[in-house]
A and B are shown apart, each in its own frame.
Chain A
């Protein structure tokens, strides 16, 4: 279950990375290159991408999205341990929170929807649900490294009571 979930999340992160890469490229090439629906003859993506909300402290949010997806993908490809699972969770919370805020701005401030941004918001929502589920499931534990106790003790958990008791027995 957990490994399937992880594979699905990796696939979603790759798609998200593709969307963010596309938006980043378009940002530097020119918004006219955006494949997007239109309203009033003006591309709604163009409206969103050229709005003041499209940058955060001078950095295009498309670039931030690209960095975010790279980090999420990295945390998913890292060995399946508690630390990597929690890193994915933290990153997806940030991604989900900021994309939810940007979607709010699209609806209530810009009055235009960028389908590409919306698709990224949907991907991040699913990734967050996946990250929560994966963290709660917790297992499987990684294969014990060579020399580790044969009872499955792993680096991400403390010793069992039996292990603690052993030296004193």
Chain B
């Protein structure tokens, strides 16, 4: 009889233990489900926010090329208007007899050069607002004949392009436009539609689209010079010259005039006034 009672107690204890384990298991599962749900929801929120934010960093230009889009037409009109009536010879913008020369060593894929080139109402490919310095130089100093601007090549940001030939191709494309007196149109259009660094957007289609946006440029003549050995040699010579002078950053701004050469600005100038001060110094 005692043994029967003991057996009953043992069975009851077993049942209680099993039920306790079941309750614990249910509780654990509920906790895990709740945790999993919250973590997944949080990650989804972050991913959506990142996607939306990344979209905001891109310029409205379609890199695969729609030259008839409203945005690229607006950009092209802005560049044409900025440079209208200013003489161009190869890589030089402005009066070739101007006493002061402002040389920009640049890489067309460099986002800091983009900041230098764009007006303050535009955003560079890195999301920063344009400084308006180059705009001011062109409007105030080049147009008046006080200075001439020279564009030279120095590879920096293009090093992160998956295509190792992108730098040579894009800089040669600009020089090819220079053969028709349109290099600065090409350079300005490139910067205005530059995409984030390292994204491999510099394709033949992208380069052709820019050329097609330049009024008066013969795209067939331009494209026949894209592999021009002389132009490619000029790109390489520019780079060698810059390296020989110890320049490693873009933009590097060198101001020379009758009184010599000012200290090269090997970064983004702090303001238009800084460049203007160097112009005064060498004039």
- Contact: A90 with B271, CB < 8 Å? no
Q: Are A52 and B127 in contact (CB under 8 A)?
A: yes
Q: What separation, in Å, do the CA atoms of A50 and B34 have in the docked complex?
A: 39
Using a CB-CB cutoff of 8 Å, which residues 63-113 of chain A contact chain B? 82, 86-87, 89-91, 93-94, 97-98, 101-102, 105, 109-112
Q: In the complex, are the beta carbons of B270 and A40 less than 8 A apart? A: yes
Residue ID in chain B nearest A90 by CB atoms:
B38
Please report the C-alpha to C-alpha distance between residue A161 and residue B271 in the assembled complex, in whole angstroms: 75
Residue of A41, A51, A93, A161 touching B19 (CB-CB under 8 A)? A161
Residues of B contacting A98 with CB < 8 Å?
Answer: 46, 49-50
Q: Say whether A165 faces chain B, with CB atoms less than 8 Å apart.
A: yes
> Closest Cβ of chain A: how far from B8's Cβ, in Å?
12
Are the C-beta atoms of A50 and B129 separated by less than 8 Å? yes
**Pair B46/A52 contact, Cβ less than 8 Å:** no
Nearest CB in chain A to that of B273: its residue: A41
User: B260-279 vs A: 1/0 string, CB under 8 Å?
Assistant: 00000001111100100000
Chain A: minimal CB distance from B129 (Å): 5
Q: B56 touching A40 by the CB < 8 A rule?
A: no
Is B86's beta carbon under 8 Å from chain A?
Answer: no
- Interface stretch (choices A9-17, A53-61, A114-122, A140-148): A53-61
What per-residue 1/0 map shows which CB atoms of B151-178 lie under 8 Å from chain A?
0000000000000000000000000000
Q: How many residues of A contact B (CB 8 A)?
A: 37
A135 lies within 8 A of B35 (CB)? yes
Checking A42, A90, A101 against B53 with a beta-carbon cut-off of 8 angstroms, the contacting residue is A101
Cα distance, A40 to B274, chains bound together (Å): 11
Question: Within the assembled complex, what's the spacing in Å between the Cα atoms of A37 and B255?
Answer: 28
- Residues of A146-169 at the interface with B, using a CB-CB cut-off of 8 Å, are 157-162, 164-165
CB pair B129 A51 closer than 8 Å: yes
- Separation of A47 and B20 alpha carbons in the complex (Å): 60
Contact call B196/A109, Cβ cutoff below 8 A: yes
Q: Is the CB of A51 within 8 A of B128?
A: yes
Using Cβ atoms and an 8 Å threshold, which residues of chain A touch B196? 109
Residues of A close to B21: CB separation below 8 A: 161
Q: CA separation between A45 and B11, bound complex, in Å?
A: 71
With A and B bound together, what is the CA distance between A90 and B52 in angstroms?
A: 20
Q: Is B34 touching A86 in the complex (CB atoms < 8 A)? A: yes
Give the complex CA separation of A125 and B192 in angstroms.
37
CA distance A87 to B43 in the complex (A): 14
Say yes or no for B64: interface residue by CB 8 A criterion: no
Tell me, in angstroms, the Cα distance from A164 to B112 when the chains sit together: 69
The contact of B23 among A50, A52, A135, A164, by CB within 8 Å, is: A164
* Contacting residues, chain A, for B50 (C-beta < 8 A): 97-98, 101
Nearest-CB residue, chain B, relative to A163: B23
- Judged by a CB distance under 8 angstroms, whether B70 is at the interface is no
Residue of B nearest to A161 (CB): B20
Would you list 14 pairs from A and B whose C-beta atoms are within 8 A, ordered by A residue? A51-B123, A52-B123, A52-B127, A53-B56, A55-B56, A56-B53, A93-B38, A94-B49, A98-B46, A109-B196, A111-B112, A161-B23, A162-B16, A165-B19
Query: Top 7 closest A-B pairs, CB basis?
Result: A41-B270, A161-B20, A97-B46, A93-B42, A51-B127, A161-B19, A90-B38
B interface residue numbers (CB < 8 A to A)? 15-17, 19-23, 26-27, 30-31, 34-35, 38-39, 41-43, 45-46, 49-50, 52-53, 56-57, 111-112, 123, 126-129, 196, 267-271, 274
Given contact pairs A40-B269, A97-B45, enumerate 17 new A-B contacts (beta carbons under 8 Å).
Answer: A40-B270, A47-B128, A56-B49, A57-B52, A82-B31, A90-B39, A93-B39, A94-B46, A97-B49, A98-B49, A98-B50, A109-B126, A110-B127, A112-B128, A160-B20, A161-B23, A165-B16
